[in-house]
Amino acid sequence: MRIFIILATFLISSALNAQIVDKNYIDRWLKASDSSAQIDAVVVYRVDQKEFYSYDTTTLNNELRKITIDRIASIVYSDAKKSGNTPGKGTIDITTLKSQSLKELESAMREAEKSFKDKYNSFSQHIYSNAKDPVLIIDNELIHYAQVREELKKINLNDVFAIVVTTNFPVPYIYFGQNSKNGMVRIWTKKMFSK
């Protein structure tokens, strides 16, 4: 079982890093996250708050291709009700990774720790069908749900580059498993960016 999880994590990480970031990649990600999202009707894509129109695919793709997959902090779909006056049926926001201050890291870590509520007794325990926890990814490696609390305790914030908590939005089930419906917590260490 443990070998399968390690192998699956490696394959997921390899598959994600092999992808090209473009409009199709973003749309596939979101459709895999939430099949009810009206992505085809979205007119505005925001990349780090800069707006691009979906009908100008060349300009949008040129901007997206500047981003490597390991530098995407979050991909979020907001329906028309949440996106305000933006034309079309919602927006898609792509945020790239930025180094965070110690104060920002402390706040994000508190939020991350609060988002993990489920208790597991052992590595071999099955995941709860009504689990509340999001998925945890550290340096692009998916952490087993039973080891999350232990891994979070090991984190020294002085060694962390950024922490992103997107627990209000689902992530693709096919990549991250059952808890993906509860969102994701991602942690990148400074070590990852010193390579």
Percent of the chain with pLDDT over 70: 81
| Mean confidence (pLDDT) of the chain | 82
The answer to whether 70 and 23 have CB atoms below 8 angstroms apart is no
Distance of CA 107 to the CA centre of its chain: 18
Calpha distance 140→168 (Å, rounded): 20
The answer to whether 21 and 67 have CB atoms below 8 angstroms apart is yes
What average pLDDT does this structure show over 81-85? 54
Q: Which residues of 79-93 are buried (b: 16+ CB within 10 A; e: fewer)?
A: ebeebeebebbbbbb
pLDDT tens per residue, range 25-55: 999 988 888 888 888 888 899 999 999 999 9
Q: At what angle do helices 57-64 and 23-33 cross, to 10 degrees?
A: 80
**Residue where the block lists tokens 């749900």:** 145
pLDDT tens per residue, range 96-139: 999 999 999 999 999 999 999 887 766 666 676 778 889 999 99
Calpha distance 71→74 (Å, rounded): 9
Instruction: Give the model's pLDDT for residue 93.
Output: 92
Predicted TM-score (pTM) of this structure: 0.77
